[in-house]
Amino acid sequence: MLKALIFDMDGVLVDSMPFHAAAWKKAFLDMGMEIRDQDIYEIEGSNPRNGLPLLIRKALKEPDAYDFETITAIYRQEFKRIFELKAFDGMKECLEMLKARFLLSVVSGSDRLIVNGILDQLFPGIFDMVVTGDDVLNSKPHPDPFLKAVELLKVGKNECVVVENAVLGVEAAKRADIYCIGIPTYVEPSKLDRADLIVGDHKKLMEHLLNLE
């Protein structure tokens, strides 16, 4: 019996990844490095501690040569400056209907300050539990974020469904042995081929979720 739905935030609930990408690119440029939007989308879901070494290597540099705290501070300042809050159309109403039937959770690789700020403004009182990048040592693609969510929700893995748009998020859900719905918001559908089900857009996602039993 399905008891809980676990959502990624960026790209599933909120159309925010272009702002994350712009902020990371600014931070890297200030440090003398260049990265592409696609580089960032492909490591979406990881926290800065785990994701920064991957991005620095994509810029053909050595991670040990850079101060992660400096890069992250520039990113946070730029993200705060440029970010515009925007939930995907119909998502709040969909979640309000789902809340009457399921436990709802968010598992995000972003900082708790950012995650709570967005959820409090766009989806107040909707989620029963939130796991952020600050709450686990190993971020996605490790299964730890989803396993922590299952533990806090006090449900079985077979009683949950994960909704993810990120390559690393889908991998993390499957490594946690949880059914996963993939939505290719910013990547090609083929990148999410480990998902149990791939839906084409947010309208189809919400229709599918509202028909779950």
Asked if residues 6 and 161 have their Cβ atoms less than 8 Å apart, the reply is yes
Structure-token pair, residue 22: 């712009």
Helix (H, G, I), strand (E, B) or coil at 123: coil
Q: 19-25 long-range contacts, Cβ below 8 Å, gap at least 24?
A: 19/79, 19/82, 19/83, 19/84, 20/44, 20/79, 20/110, 22/78, 22/82, 23/75, 23/76, 23/78, 23/79, 23/82, 23/83, 24/55, 24/75
Amino acid at 197: L
Question: Is residue 111 annotated as a catalytic residue, yes or no?
Answer: no
Structure-token pair, residue 56: 């620095």
* 8, 15, 135, 144: the active-site residue: 8
Active site residues: 8
